[in-house]
Amino acid sequence: MAGRECYHCKQWVEEGEAHDCWTTTEGALTANLSEDLREAWERVRETAAEFGEQRIYASHSSIMFSRKSCYFFVRPKKSFLEVCVFLGRPLKAPQVRRSEASSKSKFANLIQIRHRDEVEAPIAEWLREAYEYSGRGASSDAPASSDRPKKDLPKKKKTKRSASRARKTKRPSRTKRTKRN
């Protein structure tokens, strides 16, 4: 039979068969979870769905939760759920494995969840905070550009190099100063 092997997922694709290994579903990502992790996943999803209008979708190996932008995602692993919460601050708590800046205004806070009971305070509060933070646009926090007063920018300091260049250009060249008769 004619076909090919997908270089991404290594799956055999028959000739003429539609194949898109980049699209996936929540069910496919959570199918092999243990009972404890499945219950934890359901609790995370229920908690986030209660916050309000949002988009929940699977993307490659993660399940994304977004409003205007993604405010957190879950990456199911064999022994835990890796939850990445985007906030305007780094979290400092025993549940947080790592916090790192993901942009100028956001921090990615990585949390590992192993049981349904862990999806309570403070994790549920952090998810809500991320939901509310993502709903605030950059434009809603700052006044419109026409309303903003213009800042007086400080003058650049001259470095030694730029100062010496300025002096060199002001001096007349030596050949012009000495006249030969």
Judge contact between 90 and 48, C-beta under 8 A: no
Judge contact between 45 and 54, C-beta under 8 A: no
pLDDT at 59: 82
Tokens at 73, concatenated = 């995602």
pLDDT, tens digit, 9 for 90 and up, residues 28-49: 899 899 999 999 999 999 999 9
pLDDT, tens digit, 9 for 90 and up, residues 73-95: 999 999 999 999 999 999 999 99
| Ranges of each domain in the chain | 18-136
Q: Which of 127, 112, 121 is nearest to 37 (CA)?
A: 112
**β-strand partners of 107:** 87, 101
pLDDT at 103: 92
Mean pLDDT of the chain: 81
pLDDT, mean of residues 144-157: 50
Q: What pTM does this model have?
A: 0.65
- In order, the DSSP letters of the chain are --EEE-TTT--EEETT----TT---HHHHHTT--HHHHHHHHHHHHHHHTT-S-EEEEETTEEEEESSSEEEEEEE-SS-EEEEEEESS---STTEEEEEE-SSS-EEEEEEE-SGGGSSTTHHHHHHHHHHHHHS-HHHHS--TTTSPPP-PPPPPPPHHHHHHHHHHHSPPHHHHSPP-
**Cβ partners under 8 Å of residue 61, min gap 6:** 24, 29, 75, 76
Question: Comparing 13-27, 47-61, 94-108, 121-135, which segment has the lowest mean pLDDT?
Answer: 13-27
